[in-house]
Amino acid sequence: MIQNFENDKHNQHKSKRENFQGKQKQYKSKQKSFRDKHNRGKNKHRLVSVADFQFQILREEIAKDAKALQIPEGAAEEITKKVILEAEKWLDMAGKATVSELEEKILAELKKYHANLAYVYQNRGKII
Amino acid sequence: MEMFIPFGEVFLAAAVHASLQLELGGLLLLYHASLGKHIRRRTKKLVNNYIAGIGTLAILTLTGFCFMMDRYFGSALYPEELAVVVGMLVAIAVLAWIFYYRRGRSTELWLPRSVARYINRRAKNTDSSIEAFSLGVLTGLAEMPFTLILLLTAANSILALPFDYQLLAAGMYVAVVILPMVILRLAIRRGQTVADIQRWRVKHKNFFRIMTGVGFLALALFILAFEVLA
């Protein structure tokens, strides 16, 4: 009878532990999806391909930066077109690359055409 | 001499407040986002409203502190209470040296990244005057951990002045605080780009860091010498 009591107690502890571990796993997976949601597009080590990366958004951002720097519209459009073309070509050849590698490539291309535009691109989100 | 000390304290507190970089950074973000989207006249209006937001927050906080100190303490702070303020100023000076700027070749500040991203996002999406005004108030509030003690010190000094000079001192505080933003506005108007100004800020980051800490210390010593030990 004592043995049964001890077995029951052991089983209770075991089930409590399993419940707790199950809840921990659920909590960790919730945390992960929360993190993923907030890091969407910001995870620099995420692998991207030509289809994944949103070149249209990049085009608009570079256009806005160029306008803010008072670069003439025609020149800004040419620069944007060439930079995006080179970046797409590079990414196509590479197949897949991390976001940070792609950003370095874009920065290198921007530096060829306009130093201030490259500087602004490099320092996005680093003003404050 | 009687009026020199309170005016000196107000001016020093305002100068230290002006040396902090969050409000200036917010203005630069607003300028950059707005110049990329709107015509110049609209950008000018947004910037004016941003500066008005910061000034309004400063004057409201300052006068609020003056009112509370007068109502609940009866007058300016006692020397023992000022000694505590001196201690806090010294602590914040050390914090400003160590924590105010993050590491690296940028002007990233101590703010949690989520708050910085929120301010960034708000600056990018600011389209109307009221949004620019509230962005100014928001950045002023975000800077409060460092500026609250300065506003308290200035409010204490203002209460020590004769009534006729109190409004002048409060006006002087706000004018000094918004001066760097006015200078930035003039610089951009004269042809400087956002990139040039940001490069200048990065180049002189260490100087600003040292001067902010020294400013806090100088204010602490000023109060210690002329109010606590006198």
In this predicted structure, what is the pLDDT of residue A14? 75
pLDDT level of residue A40 (50, 70, 90 thresholds):
very low
Contacts of B119 in chain A (CB under 8 A): 128
ipTM of the complex: 0.85
The residue with greater pLDDT, B114 or A11, is: B114
In this predicted structure, what is the pLDDT of residue B40? 87
Please write the tens of the pLDDT for every residue from B93-116.
999 999 999 988 899 999 999 999
Q: How far, CA to CA in Å, does B49 sit from each of A124, B37, B181?
A: 24, 17, 12
Find, in chain A, the residue whose alpha carbon is nearest to that of B23. Answer: A128
The residue with greater pLDDT, A107 or A125, is: A107
Please write the tens of the pLDDT for every residue from B123-157.
999 999 999 999 999 999 999 999 999 999 999 99
Residues 6+ apart with CB under 8 A from A68: A120, B31, B32, B33, B35, B36, B193, B194
Please write the tens of the pLDDT for every residue from B10-26.
999 999 999 999 999 99
Do the Cβ atoms of B14 and B216 come closer than 8 Å?
A: no
Contact with chain B for residue A68, Cβ under 8 A? yes
Residue A39 has pLDDT above 50, yes or no: no
Asked whether the beta carbons of residue A128 and residue B22 sit closer than 8 angstroms, the reply is: yes
Find, in chain B, the residue whose alpha carbon is nearest to that of A63. Answer: B36
In this predicted structure, what is the pLDDT of residue A22? 73
Do the Cβ atoms of A65 and A117 come closer than 8 Å?
A: yes
What pairs with residue B109 in β-bridges?
Answer: B101
Asked whether the beta carbons of residue B29 and residue A116 sit closer than 8 angstroms, the reply is: no
| Structural domain boundaries in chain B | 4-228
Mean of pLDDT values over B47-66? 96
Q: What gap in Å lies between CA A21 and CA A14, rounded to an integer? A: 10
Do the Cβ atoms of B116 and A126 come closer than 8 Å?
A: no
Do the Cβ atoms of B173 and B16 come closer than 8 Å?
A: no
Mean of pLDDT values over B164-184? 96
Residue B75 has pLDDT above 90, yes or no: no
Contacts of A125 in chain B (CB under 8 A): 116-117, 120
In this predicted structure, what is the pLDDT of residue A125? 86
Contacts of A65 in chain B (CB under 8 A): 32, 36
Please write the tens of the pLDDT for every residue from A47-73.
888 777 888 989 999 999 999 998 999
Do the Cβ atoms of B199 and B12 come closer than 8 Å?
A: no
Mean of pLDDT values over B217-222? 96
Where in A6-93 does DSSP place strands (E)? 47-48
Q: What gap in Å lies between CA A76 and CA B190, rounded to an integer? A: 22
Count CA atoms closer than 13 A to B182's CA, side-chain side.
9
Residue A41 has pLDDT above 60, yes or no: no
Asked whether the beta carbons of residue A68 and residue B119 sit closer than 8 angstroms, the reply is: no
Residue B221 has pLDDT above 70, yes or no: yes
